[in-house]
Amino acid sequence: MMMSDSKKSVVFHLGFLALLFLLQFILPAYHHGNLARIMVLATYAMGYNILFGYTGLLSLGHAMFFAAGMYGMGLTMTHLGWTAGPGMLAGLLAGGLVSAGIGFLALRTSGVSFMIVTLMFAQAGFLTILYFGEWTRGDEGFVIRQADRVFAGIDLSHPTYRYLAALLLFGICLMLTIRLMQSRFGHVLIAIRENEERTQMLGYDVHFHKWMAVIASGTMAAVAGAAYALLFGYAGATFASVQYSIFPLLWVLLGGAGTALGPFIGTLFMFYLIDLSSSLTTAYMLIAGVALVLLTLFLPQGLVGEWRRKMMPWLT
Amino acid sequence: MAQKDDAMADMTTPHINTKGLSRNFGGLIAVNAVDFEVPKGEIRAIIGPNGAGKSTFVGMLCGRIAPSSGEIMFAGQNITAMPAHRRIRQGMAYTFQITSIFARLTLKENVRLATSWRWNGDESAIEEATHAALEQVGLADRMHQIAGDLSYGHQRLLEIAMGISQHPELLILDEPTQGLADSEIASFVKLIRDLGGDMTILLIEHNMNVVMDTADKITVLNLGTELATGTPQDIRANKAVQTAYLGETHA
């Protein structure tokens, strides 16, 4: 029975990826471009979800992981002349190292202290990027030349390839998340979220599992950051700022914490909420704000969370 | 479960013992220099008035609470500094005084979490141990229910199922019958008797009928020190114990 539930979930998500693949043929150029961006940002949110949604640790500093990937890639490409492939790898490694280091230190705290410590580390990371403005060009940021945004001969600045690359990244990370959460390791993360003390007293090294969750979460966020810079050609300090730490929290809450698809649905929803309301009024943040309040009041488990509760209890 | 070598070395080695085990909370001495030993396979009840230090004492045995001083030996190995999760993997199991389960998961998922490392991913062994443990406490027909929906008494039984599903060598039960109905207490007593012999059991218990019906020996704690240890008959007749429980006037 458990096997068939997890298979159902895998099939469902593969079907969803197929839908995203087909959408590129019918979407108008504007929405086509938006969706590529949303898929990359949703990958960031999926990384955040591993730690927040599945493990129950609320970080307010994930922008530092996103930025670690972005600058790990951007700086090696710009200053060391690396190509896109090694650049992406540098972004991934930067994310892994930063999250291992920060996780090691921040996990000495828990609860509210963990939130504050991650917020402070991220702020320190943001200021570090500004401080080394000579290389990072600070707030202004830097453009990654179109000529460099080529992987295996494919021009990633071209909308079609950019969409496919974003879909590939999103699809891999989505299926990895599902694989992870269906594994024994993932079950222990959920157990930690549900009852940390009991989990330890069943014989699990809670601290180690949390650390691994921070690393998995931070590395996925970093890969999304690197991909964002590569696909959209720009790296800047804004992406390390506090609002980029808050965004994934909002996206995940809206879409459904602890659901594999929640981060995507939340990112999509918020992106278009702001897009549509800003075409109506300059006070678009007011509309967005009210919508968010209503959603949290009436759908506390997020869109996918409620949907799972009502219709698909087997969803990962 | 690879610590057998030391354990086998000497059959007279106690399964678990402590030397001068103490714990202070600020100025309060909760447990004061307790020397304690239990041979393998014995069912030992730990009793004492409220605030006697029982929970603190077993909390130190299983690693939830760090001792202020003293030593703990388990199966011939000094485990004083060993973290709790490793003690569990060495063959201890612990049930909480205040029910602590995974309320939003099913009963089956609760027990599977307890057993899955124990059989190292062997799916059929995990399934079997999960079923057997739920069967033993009489909850097998509810295994797909959400644990938080169970009555309090059933949640306590689930917690015991999680403990025994690990097939521990030492099972520590902190007030397991609290909140159970009389019929559930009767089957609990039978379960403990069945398990005794295979595993060493430490039982903190307030219900004297349960203690007298299950324990091979009883240790009485009072004000953080060991007041007496003996068979149920010895303890029943012990003047100091009567005084501790009933007050000076009784003597």
What would the pLDDT profile of A62-87 be if each residue is shown by its tens digit? 999 999 999 999 999 988 989 999 99
pLDDT at position B221, please?
93
Average pLDDT over residues B36-53: 93
Band (pLDDT 50/70/90 cuts) for residue A153 is: confident
Which of chain B's residues have a Cβ under 8 Å away from the Cβ of A202?
A: 85, 88, 113-114, 162, 166
Q: Has residue B242 got a pLDDT over 90?
A: no
Q: How far is B166 from chain A (nearest CA, A)?
A: 9
Average pLDDT over residues A260-279: 93
Which of chain A's residues have a Cβ under 8 Å away from the Cβ of B102?
A: 191, 194-195, 198
- The 10s digit of each residue's pLDDT in A200-216 is 999 999 999 999 999 99
DSSP line for B134-173: HHHTT-GGGTTSBGGGS-HHHHHHHHHHHHHHT--SEEEE
State whether residue A194 sits within 8 Å of chain B by CB.
yes
pLDDT at position B10, please?
47
Domain boundaries, chain A: 5-241
Q: What is the C-alpha separation between B18 and B78, in angstroms, rounded?
A: 10
Average pLDDT over residues A150-176: 94
Average pLDDT over residues A146-150: 85
H-only helix segments in A195-256: 196-201, 206-232, 242-255
pLDDT at position A138, please?
83
Average pLDDT over residues A18-43: 96
Decide if B102 and A184 are in contact by the 8 Å CB cutoff: no
pLDDT at position B17, please?
94
Q: How far is A300 from chain B (nearest CA, A)?
A: 16
Helix (H) or strand (E) holding A278: helix A262-280
pLDDT at position B249, please?
52
pLDDT at position A282, please?
86
State whether residue B26 sits within 8 Å of chain A by CB.
no
Q: What is the DSSP letter of B98?
A: S
Band (pLDDT 50/70/90 cuts) for residue A283 is: confident
pLDDT at position A81, please?
87
pLDDT at position A85, please?
92
C-alpha neighbours within 13 Å on the C-beta side of residue B184: 18
How much is the ipTM here?
0.88
- Report yes or no: B155 and B147 within 8 Å, Cβ to Cβ: yes
**What does pLDDT average to over chain B?**
89
With CA atoms as reference, the chain B residue closest to A195 would be B102
Q: Starting from the edge strand earliest in sequence, which strands make up the sheet with B69-74, in order?
A: B28-38, B16-25, B69-74, B77-78
Average pLDDT over residues B85-101: 93
Q: Has residue B246 got a pLDDT over 80?
A: no
Candidate from A14-23, A92-101, B10-19, B86-95 with smallest mean pLDDT: B10-19
Which of chain B's residues have a Cβ under 8 Å away from the Cβ of A184?
A: 116-117, 121
Candidate from A135-144, B81-90, B91-100, B101-110 with smallest mean pLDDT: A135-144
- The 10s digit of each residue's pLDDT in A212-237 is 999 999 999 999 999 999 999 999 99
- Report yes or no: A227 and A157 within 8 Å, Cβ to Cβ: no
Q: Has residue B181 got a pLDDT over 70?
A: yes
Q: Has residue B11 got a pLDDT over 90?
A: no
- Report yes or no: B91 and B1 within 8 Å, Cβ to Cβ: yes
List of long-range contacts for A9-14, beta carbons under 8 Å, 24+ apart: A9/A178, A9/A182, A9/A260, A9/A314, A9/A315, A9/A316, A10/A175, A10/A178, A10/A316, A12/A312, A12/A315, A13/A174, A13/A175, A13/A178, A13/A260, A13/A261, A13/A316, A14/A175
Average pLDDT over residues B234-244: 87
Q: A264 or A293, which is more confident?
A: A264
pLDDT at position B75, please?
92
Q: Has residue B173 got a pLDDT over 80?
A: yes
- Whole-prediction pTM: 0.90
Q: Has residue A264 got a pLDDT over 50?
A: yes
pLDDT at position A68, please?
97
Q: Which segments within B3-124 are labelled E, that is strand? A: 16-25, 28-38, 43-47, 69-74, 77-78, 92-95
- Report yes or no: A84 and A144 within 8 Å, Cβ to Cβ: no
State whether residue A202 sits within 8 Å of chain B by CB.
yes
Q: Has residue B12 got a pLDDT over 80?
A: no
Q: Has residue A291 got a pLDDT over 60?
A: yes
**What does pLDDT average to over chain A?**
93
Interface A–B counts its CB contacts (< 8 A) at: 58
Look at residues B166, B170, B203, B167 and name the one whose alpha carbon lies nearest to residue B188: B203
Q: Has residue A1 got a pLDDT over 50?
A: no
Band (pLDDT 50/70/90 cuts) for residue A20 is: very high
Task: Give the count of beta carbons closer than 10 Å to the beta carbon of residue A29.
Answer: 8
State whether residue B145 sits within 8 Å of chain A by CB.
no
Q: Has residue A2 got a pLDDT over 80?
A: no
- The 10s digit of each residue's pLDDT in B198-209 is 899 999 998 999
Is beta strand B170-174 parallel, antiparallel or unpaired with respect to B200-204? parallel
Angstrom CA distances, A140 to A86, A134, A228, A243, stand at 25, 11, 17, 17
Look at residues A30, A19, A34 and name the one whose alpha carbon lies nearest to residue A166: A34
Band (pLDDT 50/70/90 cuts) for residue A183 is: very high
- Report yes or no: A239 and A232 within 8 Å, Cβ to Cβ: no
Average pLDDT over residues B176-204: 90
